[in-house]
Chains A and B, each alone.
Chain A
């Protein structure tokens, strides 16, 4: 197992190098640059050229790439053109917001989805199952942003139950008030996000349980007189979790990805908005850093999923 993990980690190195070159080239290939359209009546082309020059944007791409790599190995991902701050600092600021919101969303998602999936699977064909399926189909068919806009409109602006902007109240000070304020700001987007995200997990789990329920080994156990509770615990549930485990790694590493919809609608400064703005404003340093980070997280996600799968399913381990 450890050998496999080590091998996978080593393979990640050339993958990340290739990704970084591709990302760097693609970012440069986009029309425009960080100063495109950023002209005002006081500026002149001379000043724009001056800024391009001192930022090294006229250098050949391979020189720019080399400078970037050298700085990367010194822990410096460059300075954002838009925010005029080190990229590492900006990512650290945004990653915190995104991580906490995504974590709460994920916890809520599993807290809602697991019982729903199990319940529906156990009561296959009954009214309870039908209700759960209606719920999952409804959340699957309604666009996410519609749920968010409606939720914000009803619970945020209409009923005034939740804050609608930012990650913390400007007036909160002190550890506990800040913590509670942060939680208060996260609850509405997290609940809405979770209600939306539960559908696929519920469906996977429900199908897994139904499949396992009708499998030969369950029938054998039943015929041997093993109580249903034990069958569910030791056979059905464990097998039904396999498809969910396959996504677990991605879910964990995907926590840092951020959601552009959530962040835009709730003015929540996270990684999703950062990435979108970086692309719009050709903030090359931020684009390359984020794509590299996401690439790394994806590779890690695959690895974690494989580890989780092998932990649950001994057949995977053997292979």
Chain B
């Protein structure tokens, strides 16, 4: 999750002197920046032939990051995306395969079968599933992942309260039970079947990345003598880890690199490449390292600001797909009730008037901003769901297109009249709005300044909260307070799971709901996405689309930009794909030359 921290504070690099002119002048640019202008394929089709000679070489992969990786191999205990990347050839001990809609399908380490009536999920591990040391993968390994996640002494940050939908998980997590009663193993711990019994049974269970069911295994026999609280620093996790994926770890240099060789016990397609090295490289060296052909591809996604530097590299093809996260504006509308740990809207909140919020959004030409700074790799979104989720994305939700006169009209209608330079509240009192922003790159600071400029044009006295963009920890420290009045509007960023149910972000008890937006309709729409009726997919899709439109109307959280997830791939690599149903990514890769071309 530290990746989140870094990512939340990260952004584009370039500063353009022409920004303000570009953004504020003409209506002709209103239509720009609403779609990514760069069209990318999800696969790189290399026509060249591979051979065993080439495949005996080494695939060189870069992890662009400014920090050494932590070295936690266990997905249950990992707390950042860098570790996940560095140990990815080991398969991250994933249980299931998915299709292009992220639905769990058969064929992976285990199959899943859901029984709506009995409210059970049966996980059947395949017979030939083995760890990279030759030990069989068992039902106990499925259960042990939950035991490590939910243990009261575990430092795992991956435990989700939604997992308490599994019977007995709440008691186990609280330390009142020594095992999870809702996970049974009908054929014994060494068998291949684990059954999860749920108290509520949501349709999101069909999808990978849901917050209720964990989707990796934990090697019980290998780790059983290590106390769970000490697992993350144990040799089993740090020095001699075992994996279920196509490759096994052959060498690790602390914080710097991992090296991999094929895992002969892998259940699936045999890997073709005999050696893989993944190396941490400074983010600033993204373009330089590719230009000098030091790597075949980065495992991290490229930043939009790097795109102009690598788009013309003749030996690399850029592949990609829509990202799922987004930047957004949030409004402070209430507080957190610390007794119930739920958000409560304040009827008299300064930003409580929806027309005020809408007017502030109409005053910004966000499309032009995105076009300027994301170089065709980003777009100004209309909804809080990325088009990546094709079936759920509502393309008909209206945009907050730049329209200053509409913004002024909305404020006039709502009673925010101009008295001198600034508008006042409907009750005549002065109105000062505090804008919370994180210290960031020069281009993001320029964007913040543009926002202030536009809001000032509208007659709103908006100032930086604290006088300037805040250091990231201070920003979140302020926002995460149960009640705060330092920020009335704030600019943040969200990452989104492969399963896009938004309850974890915008629910009444969601920690991400830092603007404390809670309405009956919002709760209802989100509940509907996972109620019994939602097993009917068209009903579920409709709830998602209705929710997007409702959220856009309410303007409590408004997305400001989304970007493509993209990667340059060297032309000696064959079989590269970022499609979500490419379940055998590492096994599918092959080489067509002895060194990056």
Check A157–B292 contact: CB distance below 8 A. Answer: yes
How far in angstroms is the closest Cβ of chain B from A82? Answer: 6
Given contacts A37-B8, A41-B505, A46-B161, contact A164 B285 (CB under 8 A): yes
Please tell me if B199 contacts chain A, counting CB pairs below 8 Å. no
Q: Which of B69-77, B89-97, B373-381 contacts A (4 or more CB under 8 A)?
A: B69-77
Give CA–CA (A48, B158) in the complex, Å.
11
One of A83, A158, A280 near B71 (C-beta < 8 A): A83
Tell me, yes or no, whether A247 is within 8 Å of chain B by CB: no
Are B233 and A31 in touch, CB under 8 angstroms?
no
Residues of A within 8 A of B263 (CB): none
Check A32/B473 contact, CB under 8 A, given A54-B153, A85-B232: yes
Q: Which residue of B lies closest to A41 (CB)?
A: B504
The distance in angstroms between the C-alpha atoms of A273 and B282, with both chains bound, is 12
User: Binary interface profile of B, 223-234, with partner A (CB < 8 Å = 1, else 0)?
Assistant: 000000000110
Asked if residues B509 and A38 are in contact (CB atoms below 8 Å), the reply is no
Q: At the interface, yes or no: A43 with Cβ under 8 Å from chain B?
A: yes
B509's nearest neighbour on chain A, judged by CB, is A44
Inter-subunit contact A32/B477 (CB<8 Å): yes
Q: Which residues of A contact B70 (CB under 8 A)?
A: 82-85
Tell whether A282 pairs with B473 under 8 Å between CB atoms, given A38-B2, A173-B251.
yes
Of the candidates B472, B473, B474, B509, the one having the most CB atoms from chain A within 10 angstroms of its own CB is B473
Contact string against A for B residues 147-165, beta-carbon threshold 8 Å, 1 for contact and 0 otherwise: 0000011010111111000
State in angstroms the CA–CA spacing of A157 and B258 once bound together: 22
Q: Is the CB of B255 within 8 A of A269?
A: yes
In the assembly, what is the distance between CA of A40 and CA of B211, in Å? 11
Q: In the complex the two chains form, is A36's CB within 8 Å of B496's CB?
A: no
Contacts of B471 in A (CB 8 A): 31
**Inter-chain contact total with CB atoms closer than 8 Å:** 182
- The distance from the CB of B488 to the nearest CB of chain A, in whole angstroms, is 19
- Say whether, besides A85-B233, A166-B257, A265-B282, A157 and B68 are in contact (CB < 8 Å): no
Q: Which residue of chain A lies nearest to B65 when distances are taken between CB atoms in the complex? A: A267
* CB neighbors of A among B341-381 (8 A): 341
Residues of A within 8 A of B233 (CB): 79, 84-86, 89
Q: Are A166 and B279 in contact (CB under 8 A)?
A: yes
Q: Which of A70-95 contact B (CB under 8 A)?
A: 79, 82-86, 89, 93-94
B84 CB, nearest partner CB in chain A, Å: 13
Tell me the bound Cα distance from A133 to B57 in angstroms: 50
Contact B473 A40 (CB under 8 A): no
Q: Which of A84, A164, A269 contacts B68 (CB 8 A)?
A: A269
User: Which of A32, A164, A166 is within 8 Å of B256, CB to CB?
Assistant: A166
Most interface-central of B284, B289, B476 (chain A CB within 10 A) = B476
CB < 8 Å neighbour of A39 from B285, B341, B511: B511
* Bound form: Cα–Cα A264–B253 in Å: 17
User: Contact string, B455-499, partner A, CB cutoff 8 A, digits 1/0?
Assistant: 000000000000000011111111010000000000000111100
Instruction: Indicate if the CB atoms of B159 and A38 lie closer than 8 Å.
Output: no
B452 at the interface (CB under 8 A from A): no
A250 at the interface (CB under 8 A from B): no
Q: A267–B282 contact, CB under 8 A? A: yes
For window 211-239 of A, CB contacts with B under 8 Å fall at none
* Smallest CB separation, B284 vs chain A (Å): 7
Q: Is the CB of B473 within 8 A of A31?
A: yes
**Which B320-355 residues have C-beta < 8 A from chain A?**
336, 341
A141 within 8 A of B: no
CB of B208 to closest CB in A, whole Å: 13
B279 to A42, Cβ gap below 8 A?
no
Which residue, of B153, B158, B480, has the highest number of chain A Cβ atoms within 10 A? B480
* Interface status of B389 (Cβ within 8 A of chain A): no
Q: Is B4 among interface residues, defined by CB-CB distance under 8 A?
A: yes
CB within 8 A of A170: which of B259, B284, B288, B294? B259
Distance (whole angstroms) from the CB of B102 to the closest CB of chain A: 15
- Contacts of A265 on B, CB cut-off 8 Å? 282, 284
Q: B280 contacts the other chain (Cβ, under 8 Å)?
A: yes
Are B157 and A43 touching (Cβ within 8 A)?
A: yes
- A277 is an interface residue with CB less than 8 A from chain B: yes
Q: Do the beta carbons of A40 and B495 come within 8 Å of each other?
A: yes
Complex-state Cα separation, A55 to B156, whole angstroms? 12
Roughly how many angstroms separate A17 CA and B504 CA in the complex, as a whole number?
A: 45
B13 within 8 A of A: no
> Once bound together, how far apart are the Cα atoms of A277 and B255, in whole Å?
13
The residue of chain A having its C-beta at the shortest distance from the C-beta of B68 within the complex is A269
* A160 within 8 Å of B (CB atoms): yes
Minimum CB–CB distance from A89 to chain B (whole Å) comes to 7
Interface 1/0 per residue, B260-284 and A, CB below 8 Å:
0000000000000001010111101
Please indicate the chain A residues that have their CB under 8 angstroms from the CB of B251 in the complex: 170, 173
25 contacts between A and B (CB under 8 A): A31-B477, A32-B474, A32-B477, A38-B1, A40-B1, A40-B504, A41-B502, A41-B510, A44-B161, A55-B155, A84-B72, A85-B70, A93-B254, A93-B255, A165-B285, A170-B256, A170-B259, A173-B251, A264-B66, A265-B282, A267-B285, A269-B68, A269-B254, A280-B5, A281-B2
Residues of chain A having any CB pair with chain B under 8 Å: 30-33, 35-48, 50-51, 54-55, 79, 82-86, 89, 93-94, 149, 152-153, 157-158, 160, 164-168, 170-171, 173, 264-267, 269, 273, 277, 280-282
Please give 16 more A-B residue pairs, beta carbons under 8 A apart, in addition to A39-B480, A164-B281: A31-B478, A33-B477, A37-B473, A38-B1, A39-B1, A41-B211, A42-B162, A55-B155, A153-B288, A166-B280, A170-B253, A170-B257, A170-B279, A266-B282, A269-B255, A269-B280
